[in-house]
Amino acid sequence: MGDGASRRIGLALKAEIGKLPGAGEVTIVDSGGLAPEGLVGALRGSRAFVLAMPLYVDGLPSHLIDLLEGVGGNFPGLPFYAVINCGFWESDKNLTCVETLRNFCLESGLRWGQALAWGGGGMIPMAPPLGRWPLRGFLRELGILAGNVVGGASGPERFAVPDLPRFLYKVGANLNWYRLAMKNGVRFGDLRRRLDG
């Protein structure tokens, strides 16, 4: 975890796992300021490793790369699951990151479980509670992932987007940029001005 969306996802996944029989204790570890040794210590005795993260330039945030490299070889066979959210509407933008994490599992001895790739991640921190529109589908997807985590099962990669049309997502994103521009003294006409010439 690291950003607001990933924190919210982690807490929602913890709640979904907690609803299932035989789930056991769920520990959430925030990666901010965490050293690789701290992650290794947090994973000792765990039945699964679930990573909730934002997509950064089609890949993992740099601090997570360092943390994951420190895990390598310490937990052979431990099931690994990932929830990746990106600010793009299209959830398939997460595909390169999913493949990177699969390769990490191969190299580190972890057992690949499943990835849930979510588009429209920018709305997760601001949206109503998960399970309500427009994130009903996301909670449903988290429930499927939670079942696999508790059962130690693998599943196919899942790619999902919010329950609203793409154009509405774009309108909301642009309104937020306009609001920030106005707040910082940028006039509406300046947003459309061309800088060439």
For residues 88 and 176, membership in a common domain is answered with: no
- What is the number of structural domains in the chain? 2
Q: Between 135 and 80, where is the model more confident?
A: 80
Residue with tokens 């390598």: 72
The strand ranges marked E within the chain are: 49-54, 79-85, 111-118, 158-160
89 and 23 in a single domain? The answer is yes
| Mean predicted lDDT score pLDDT of the chain | 86
CA distance linking residue 30 with residue 7, whole number of Å: 8
Is residue 160 domain-shared with residue 193, that is, in the same domain? no
Signed CA dihedral, 146, 12, 162, 118: sign only? negative
Q: How far is CA 47 from CA 25, 70, 137, in A?
A: 10, 18, 27
Do 159 and 171 sit in the same domain of this protein? no
Q: What does pTM read for this prediction?
A: 0.85
Sequence-ordered list of residues with C-beta below 8 angstroms from that of 1, at least 6 positions apart, any chain:
7, 9, 10, 28, 29, 30, 31, 32, 52, 53
Per-residue pLDDT tens over the stretch 133-148? 877 888 899 999 999 9
Q: What is the pLDDT of residues 27-73, one digit of tens each?
A: 777 777 788 888 889 889 899 999 988 898 888 988 888 889 988 88
Range of the structural domain that residue 24 is part of: 4-164
State the pLDDT at residue 3: 65
**Residue partners of 186: CB distance under 8 A and separation at least 6:** none
